[in-house]
């Protein structure tokens, strides 16, 4: 099966499943976030194995971050994240590896900050009173539409490289197409929904249009540092789970604070 059709098949199966769990919310969505987060963190620590991340501390920290977000919101989410630092330090103290403490602990904590906190903000978006379901749907569909149009436009008309050193496949033509998609999805999704006004929905779209590709480029830079093309092969042509979460992880954080500022 070609890479193109593999992408279509994975998206056709995965997107409805994810949106279904978002619709249910609660512990269903939390379970999805934990499962996806642990796989993504496993992929990241696999790429960074030479830095000797303290994997048990990272896994525990991610679960604590998501548990804190689910039970009590940002306060206990932060407490779970800070626990990662203490756990990593304790594990490093009893480990027998000769890797620098600073490097090992920083790699462990950075993974939880990137993956764990990013997914926690998806849970916080879903917990927005009255409009949480709509908020998450809007952000995820905007990211998906933007990513899809960027890919298609880049393949068809892409000529000008956006970040040739970090990600040679990204083009400015693709970025323009993705920006249009990111603006239109919130506009139509939130139109007459008694949530955000027209101009506020466009602001949200603009924030997503910037945050999503920045997340994508950030992961590309990390993979380049570690000398790998994809974080994994679990999702066939899509790569690994982290390859699919890179844009949503940044977009969810940016969208949450944008909505908080606008409402």
The per-residue pLDDT for range 165-194, each reduced to its tens digit, is 888 788 888 889 999 999 999 999 998 888
Count the residues in the chain.
Answer: 263
3-class secondary-structure state, position 24:
helix
Question: Can you tell me the distance from the alpha carbon of 249 to that of 240, in angstroms, rounded to the nearest whole number?
Answer: 14
Q: What is the pLDDT of residues 203-261, one digit of tens each?
A: 999 999 999 999 999 999 999 999 888 887 776 666 789 988 999 999 999 999 999 99
**Cβ atoms of residues 188 and 137 within 8 Å:** no
64: its two tokens: 């604590």
**CA pair distance 79, 71, nearest whole angstrom:** 12
- Sequence-distant (6+) residues with CB within 8 A of 92 are 54, 101, 104, 105
Average the pLDDT over each of 36-45, 147-156, 219-228 and give the range with the smallest value.
147-156
For residue 78, the enclosing domain spans 3-262
Confirm if 225 and 49 have CB atoms less than 8 A apart: no
Distance of CA 90 to the CA centre of its chain: 28
What pTM was estimated for this model as a whole? 0.91
CA 166 to chain centre: 18
Residue 171, strand partner residues: 161
Where does the pLDDT of residue 148 fall: very low under 50, low under 70, confident under 90, or very high at 90 and above? confident
**For the chain, percent helix, then strand, then coil, each to nearest 5?**
80, 5, 15
Q: Which of 65-74, 135-144, 151-160, 184-193 has the lowest mean pLDDT?
A: 151-160
Please answer whether residues 209 and 176 qualify as being in contact, where contact means their C-beta atoms are separated by less than 8 angstroms: no
Q: Are the C-beta atoms of 13 and 240 separated by less than 8 Å?
A: no
Structural domain count of the chain: 1
CB atoms within 10 A of CB 20: 12
CA dist., res. 245 & res. 3, Å (int)? 19
């Amino acid at each position: 099966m070609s890479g193109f059709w593999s992408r279509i098949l994975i998206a056709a199966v995965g997107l409805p499943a994810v949106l279904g769990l978002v619709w249910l919310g609660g512990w269903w969505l939390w379970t999805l976030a934990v499962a996806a987060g642990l796989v993504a963190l496993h992929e990241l620590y696999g790429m960074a194995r030479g830095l000797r991340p303290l994997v048990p501390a990272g896994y525990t920290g991610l679960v604590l971050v998501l548990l804190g977000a689910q039970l009590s919101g940002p306060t206990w989410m932060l407490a779970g994240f800070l626990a990662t630092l203490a756990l990593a330090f304790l594990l490093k103290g009893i480990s027998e590896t000769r890797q620098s403490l600073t490097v090992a602990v920083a790699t462990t904590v950075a993974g939880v900050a990137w993956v764990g906190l990013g997914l926690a903000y998806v849970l916080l978006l879903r917990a927005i009173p009255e409009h949480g379901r709509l908020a998450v749907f809007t952000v995820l569909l905007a990211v998906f539409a933007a990513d899809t149009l960027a890919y298609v436009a880049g393949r068809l008309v892409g000529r000008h490289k956006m970040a040739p050193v970090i990600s040679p496949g990204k083009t400015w033509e693709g970025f323009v197409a993705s920006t249009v998609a990111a603006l239109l999805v919130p506009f139509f999704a939130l139109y007459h929904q008694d949530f955000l006004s027209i101009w506020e929905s466009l602001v949200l779209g603009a924030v997503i249009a910037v945050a999503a590709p920045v997340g994508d480029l950030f992961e590309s830079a990390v993979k380049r540092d570690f000398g790998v093309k994809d974080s994994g092969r679990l999702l066939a042509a899509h790569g690994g789970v982290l390859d699919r979460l890179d844009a949503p992880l940044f977009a969810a954080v940016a969208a949450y604070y944008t909505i908080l500022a606008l409402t």
